[in-house]
Chain A
Amino acid sequence: MQPKFNINRPKISDDEINRHKNFEQLVKQFKQQSIHKAKHDKSWWKSKKVRYTSVISGVTVICTISYFALFTKLNTNKSNEKIITQNKEVEGIEKTERIKGIKDTKNVKFINAPSTKIVIPYTSYKINNVKGGEINHPTSSKIKIPKNSFIDKSGKDIVGDVTIEYREFHDIGDVIVSGIPMDYDSAGIKRNFETAGMFDIKGTQNGEPIFIKSDKILKVDLASITDEKKFNQYFLDTVKKGWKYLKKDNFDTHQITNNQKKNISQSERSRKLLDENPKLSYIKNQIEVIIPKKIDSVKIVYTKKVETLPKAKEPFKPSKSSGRQTFQLDADKKEYPELAAFDNILFEIGLENKNYTKEMSDITWTDVKISDGPAKGKNYLLTLMYLKRTEKLIVYPVLNGKDLDKAQQNYQQKFKDYESLVEKRKADEEKLMAELKAKQLAYIVGIKIKQEEYDKEVSRLQIQMKLQQQSELAGEFNKISNTTKARRVFQISNFGIFNSDCPHQQPQGATVLPIFVNNTTTFFPDLIYVVEHNSKTVFTLSYENNYKFNYNPSNLYSMVIFRNNKLYICSKDAFKTTTNKDSNKFNVKELENNGDNLVDFKKALEI
């Protein structure tokens, strides 16, 4: 049977695919399947090999336990150290769990970050290999990269941009979450490092690792929270699985103040980020410039429209002569169209003319001019000239008799037209103004929408920045509690992990075989870190020694315990309380918020 052939079948969206993902269900199914399989699969017991192996294993386990019990007792008797007795009831439970845990501890990696929730991320920087450059890390650390420093795996010079990934560790909290081992074998004596700052640097191009050229040196000025001079520089050799001494630390306390000043505060940075966000800039520009401009321009457009509406001109109202002196003149009707409709118009002398005398009407004036009067369209200025004499009179157009009747009829008609035109203009103007208002309102609504969009984007960015800050806090210098006091200068010729350290002796004094209790329940940890606050060192406890460790009763300790990716803390007080009571039951508290925040972790650790 031939398979069906579909052409251009619609693709299934990522959303739909993701909706069907259910990892919890998968694990549940797997567990059910395993239980079912275990219940029904009894064939293994039929095998002779299994039977013999079980018997031999059983005997071996009994012997081993007896041996260790005796061995521990002998050690206890030999040592002058104060050994705290274990609670036998708990030990029973613990032992079983510890045996289960053997498999886990065998596969532990050399650099083994204990938590997947708290990680110190790398910060990526792009550098052009041909040009070289300087990286300014937010902690005020600097990395100086000379030109053409990098080669690829075949030894060829890298062309173009390379990605430098960099992260720093400054205190015990950073060290614990990094999973980087801090023990150092000094001439056969195991010691623990106190760090003045550690960094991890690597380089890639298009995902492929790159290398530092043999004749090139990268200078790393690592910001340090201490200005003590007791530290040395070490490099973590991941092949030989140990720290390699490089040289005495070289450090610089100068320029720190200036550099700290240069550091942009978090709020300034947030503001800068908001200012530089292209989407926000676009919306802000819309709100502050584009839309207001549109509002203004629509106002201009509509004002012009209103201006271009036909304007009504009130017709000239003919008046009857009041009997005062009049002049008959031929006024240019083109120049004075308001007079065009009237025949035989006369110009009567106005009462306001104080210079008028009767003799003026007897003079034969050589030149007469008429122009607009102070009340344009209502009166006129009559200029009479005779030789050097010039008289100016304000005159009013008047009519008499039939001319007046005819003019009044004409006026009535024109006035009606005028009134209707005025009404029409008023209506048109109101309509245009309503349109203008509607458009302006639409723009104002547009501004409000944009403002909401802006606020939404700002809050989205703020959340994003908060998350980023949190992640940066995890990766960068802890600015809350630490301040840069010195800059430790490293000259590196390869990528990897470098440390400014001071080795300390492992604690001596009392010995304890710890049992961990969380809310009255004992549990078996995956990983335990003991922090000695006096020497600022941290050491991991080994399963092989049943997590037994030494401590100096006069020093301060706390413990960090990882179990199933959950983080528990045994505080300084809890540690002290337990050891003061000669007990070995350490009360621990689970870190709130699932232990996913470096700041909370450090706070809980009291560093």
Chain B
Amino acid sequence: MTVNSHYHHTGSQLNEELVIIEAAKLNPERFGPLYDKYYKQIFNYVYQRMDCKDTAFDLTSQVFLKALSNIQNYQFKGVPFASWLYRIAHNELMQLFRHIKDKRSINADIGDLRFICEENEEPFFEDYIPAIKKLIAELNEDDLQLVEMRYFEKRPFKEIAELLNITETNAKVKMHRVIEKLRHEIKKLKI
């Protein structure tokens, strides 16, 4: 499985980032390097979950504005700053979807769907696509979030756990339950 490596930081990278954060707390103009570093990641995260490109760009700007406004409250917890940004982005998305439900969309490649079947040790046929799409679309928001992060965005469990503010084991257990649910439904497709 290809793992999204943008998120991972070494100790020295975390330290460097922390220096910038501390500088940005004193002077908002020092926030620039963080904005440059994470803009694309946050945009992709947002756009992955919606259809409208313009709304995605607006929401990304909103995420960074919120981050800058609240940077005084940011506390380093040994994880990359991205984790905090993703959480803001998630909250912003949820707020948007609460008001305008039809903004939510799921975006995946056929390869991702094939991967889900293979992970469930089930063969993948193109005929299955509509049914798998339906299965995924019917998942609740939390389960969908897990599937998106794991299978569509190829994030490791450690990262998923940090982004969802849960433990890595908890992330794995939750993912296992979703997989079981999907496996059960995929098996039905063959009958």
Q: Ordered nearest first, which 5 A-B pairs have the shortest CB separation?
A: A3-B104, A5-B133, A4-B105, A2-B137, A207-B10
Inter-subunit contact B65/A33 (CB<8 Å): yes
Shortest CB-to-CB span from A374 to chain B, Å, is 87
Query: Chain A contacts of B68 at CB under 8 A?
Result: 26-27, 30
Query: Chain B contacts of A21 at CB under 8 A?
Result: 35-36, 39
Shortest CB-to-CB span from A601 to chain B, Å, is 21
Q: Which of A17, A109, A208 contacts B10 (CB 8 A)?
A: A208
- Chain A's closest residue to B64 (CB) is A26
Q: Which of B12, B53, B137 contacts A3 (CB 8 A)?
A: B137
Interface positions of A from 89 to 144, Cβ below 8 Å from B: 103-104, 107, 109
A27-B29, A209-B12 known; A6 vs B51 contact (CB < 8 Å): yes
A103 and B26 CA atoms in complex are apart in Å by: 8
Query: Chain B contacts of A207 at CB under 8 A?
Result: 10, 12-13
A5-B137, A7-B129, A29-B65 known; A209 vs B11 contact (CB < 8 Å): yes
Interface bits B47-76 vs A (CB < 8 Å: 1, else 0): 100010100010011001100110000000
Inter-subunit contact B69/A5 (CB<8 Å): no
Q: List 19 A-B contacts (CB under 8 A).
A: A1-B101, A1-B102, A3-B144, A4-B105, A4-B106, A5-B106, A5-B107, A5-B133, A6-B51, A8-B109, A8-B110, A14-B40, A17-B43, A20-B57, A21-B35, A23-B36, A26-B35, A27-B68, A209-B12
Query: Chain A contacts of B104 at CB under 8 A?
Result: 3-4
Interface bits B118-147 vs A (CB < 8 Å: 1, else 0): 000000000001000110111000001000
Interface bits A565-594 vs B (CB < 8 Å: 1, else 0): 000000000000000000000000000000
Inter-subunit contact B61/A26 (CB<8 Å): yes
Shortest CB-to-CB span from B23 to chain A, Å, is 9
Query: Chain A contacts of B43 at CB under 8 A?
Result: 12, 17, 20
Query: Chain B contacts of A3 at CB under 8 A?
Result: 104-106, 137, 144
Pair count A-B, CB < 8 A: 89
A101 and B122 CA atoms in complex are apart in Å by: 64
Flag whether A358 is at the interface (Cβ < 8 A).
no
Inter-subunit contact A26/B109 (CB<8 Å): no
Q: Which of A5, A27, A209 contacts B108 (CB 8 A)?
A: A5
Flag whether A156 is at the interface (Cβ < 8 A).
no
- Chain B's closest residue to A30 (CB) is B68
Flag whether A31 is at the interface (Cβ < 8 A).
yes
Contacts from B to A (Cβ < 8 Å) = 10-13, 19, 22, 26, 28-29, 31-32, 35-36, 39-40, 43-44, 47, 51, 53, 57, 60-61, 64-65, 68-69, 101-102, 104-110, 113, 129, 133-134, 136-138, 144
Query: Chain A contacts of B129 at CB under 8 A?
Result: 7
Query: Chain B contacts of A2 at CB under 8 A?
Result: 134, 137-138
Query: Chain A contacts of B32 at CB under 8 A?
Result: 23
Query: Chain A contacts of B51 at CB under 8 A?
Result: 4, 6
A104 and B138 CA atoms in complex are apart in Å by: 52
Inter-subunit contact A17/B39 (CB<8 Å): yes
Inter-subunit contact A6/B107 (CB<8 Å): yes
Query: Chain A contacts of B109 at CB under 8 A?
Result: 7-8
A26-B64, A27-B28, A107-B22 known; A33 vs B12 contact (CB < 8 Å): no
A6 and B110 CA atoms in complex are apart in Å by: 10
Inter-subunit contact B65/A7 (CB<8 Å): no
Q: Which of B19, B22, B136 contacts A5 (CB 8 A)?
A: B136
A3-B137, A7-B110, A17-B43 known; A12 vs B36 contact (CB < 8 Å): no
Shortest CB-to-CB span from A97 to chain B, Å, is 14
Query: Chain A contacts of B19 at CB under 8 A?
Result: 109
Most buried by A among B32, B68, B110: B68
Interface positions of A from 1 to 44, Cβ below 8 Å from B: 1-9, 12, 14, 17-18, 20-23, 25-27, 29-31, 33-34
Inter-subunit contact B65/A26 (CB<8 Å): yes
Query: Chain A contacts of B39 at CB under 8 A?
Result: 17, 21
5 additional contacts (CB under 8 A) given A7-B133, A12-B47 = A5-B105, A14-B40, A26-B31, A33-B65, A33-B69
A475 and B139 CA atoms in complex are apart in Å by: 56
A34 and B133 CA atoms in complex are apart in Å by: 44
Query: Chain B contacts of A33 at CB under 8 A?
Result: 65, 69
Q: Which of B36, B102, B108 contacts A7 (CB 8 A)?
A: B108
A21-B35, A208-B10 known; A30 vs B105 contact (CB < 8 Å): no
Query: Chain A contacts of B26 at CB under 8 A?
Result: 103-104, 107
A31 and B138 CA atoms in complex are apart in Å by: 42
A14 and B47 CA atoms in complex are apart in Å by: 13
A3-B137, A26-B61 known; A17 vs B40 contact (CB < 8 Å): yes
- Chain B's closest residue to A31 (CB) is B28
Shortest CB-to-CB span from B117 to chain A, Å, is 14
A29 and B108 CA atoms in complex are apart in Å by: 34
Query: Chain B contacts of A31 at CB under 8 A?
Result: 28
Query: Chain B contacts of A12 at CB under 8 A?
Result: 43, 47, 53
- Chain B's closest residue to A202 (CB) is B12
Interface bits A385-404 vs B (CB < 8 Å: 1, else 0): 00000000000000000000
A5-B137, A7-B129 known; A30 vs B35 contact (CB < 8 Å): no
Query: Chain B contacts of A17 at CB under 8 A?
Result: 39-40, 43-44
A9 and B60 CA atoms in complex are apart in Å by: 19
